[in-house]
Structure 1
Amino acid sequence: MDRKTDIVRLVEAAKTNTEAADELISAYLPFIKAQTEKFLKRPPQEGRDDELSIAMIAFHEAISGYSSLRGSFLHYAGMLIKSRLIDHARKEQRHRHALSLDAPIGEETEGTLLDTIHDPRDHYEEQQREEAFQREIAELSKQLRQYDLCFADVADNCPRQQRTLDACHRALAYAKTQPALLMQLVESRRLPIAKLSEGSQVERKTLERHRKYLVALLLIHTNGYEMIRTHLMSRKRGVEA
């Protein structure tokens, strides 16, 4: 079976099987990172660049929306990733007043501000971080499946407004002080919404609306997913900016 046919077969299987979709995303993570690097003009860094998460979500979107009429799957996925990253960049530009690293240095000097920044990255250390990040993703994916969730579910359920995001993190802060609540989540596979709402003073309807996001948040903050946890907190700071 040629590679093109094999990819199409895997994509078709991933459309209706969340485990297959997560495995396909994990297998093609180097491709996703390459597309993100092409857009950023530098390698994406886990825990710092939201663009990598956006690219992963776009890849999952490509799985759901692919048909043979769209041509090569990887070409289609690459175009969709680029489109979503452009949308994200435009949104960030509208909501922030930060200087772009892609801006020209000056009229008489070639290059951009990004070109002037020294890159001290230790490539061996970066490779180790990448492998550790992939292991965390694989382990979290496995654990989420126990709750009938996948990464796409969590991403779609993530709060979009700062006020709602803060409310979810207040519920998280309360849950972290209540080991019994966390144990209840693990044992019953159900989010103890009533107790979370009462203890954190967050409206129950807010917690119910973002149940999938909260389940992932609690699992991440209680199971040693250090790199993913760092990424989430950097995203929270980005929303606050």
Structure 2
Amino acid sequence: MFWSRKEKEHSSKKGEDFSEVIERIKSGDKKLRERFINDYRPFILGCVSKHMNRFIDIENCEEFSIGLMAFDEAISSYNSIKGGHFLSFAELVINRRLINHRKKEIKNSKVIPFSYFGGENEQIIENSISEKSIYLHYDRFEMREEIMIYNEKLEMFGITMNDLVKKSPKHKDSKELMVGIAKIIADNDNLYNKLISKKTLPMSDLIAFVTVNPKTVEKNRKYIIAVCLALKSDLEIIKGFIRKF
């Protein structure tokens, strides 16, 4: 490896901020991109193995190649302004690409050997399951992955899923109103950047854009922030729920 001393020290920190390295890669540093991907091959292997639920032979595994390409894609599409740790985002991209790959295989073959999932279930469940059933499995898997990422984003603002259950507006009209406020923040770079930097609603700036009583906004603060974070994320399933409003 040819990392600088500063890069080595930086990369050794748990929960590190990858923004600086990734921006250099996006600026055209191809050698840094190659080193970065190579250094994180064990991470990519771990993501693929976890997804497949079995040991992976990297020399003869198409899924590992997909994982490498997905990690490279994650580097290009990662946006630190949206929040969230790069490796969590990269794992989400890897899982999505593996899911898409397997869905294409299922579409062609209509059935899939349950041995793909490995583990103890291999001995007690039928040798194959229907296309519809496996689609449902992947949808649940991807949902779990998105919830994990979403939880990380919420934790940065001191919000839990339990808070959302307790603090969500009870009436449809109120919920639609709060989603509308969240969209205003998400669509306004100044408001959103202040939200990210201060980790709370920029009330003094926000009142110029809404006619809602500030006390009502504050009462629904956690819900508004949670919706805003979802809207600015790459979590398509969670955003899908929000779009219903």
Would you say same fold, with TM above 0.5? no
For Structure 1 versus Structure 2, the TM-score category normalised by the shorter chain is 0.3 to 0.5
Larger-gyration structure (1/2): 2
TM-score by length of 2: 0.44
TM-score by length of 1: 0.45
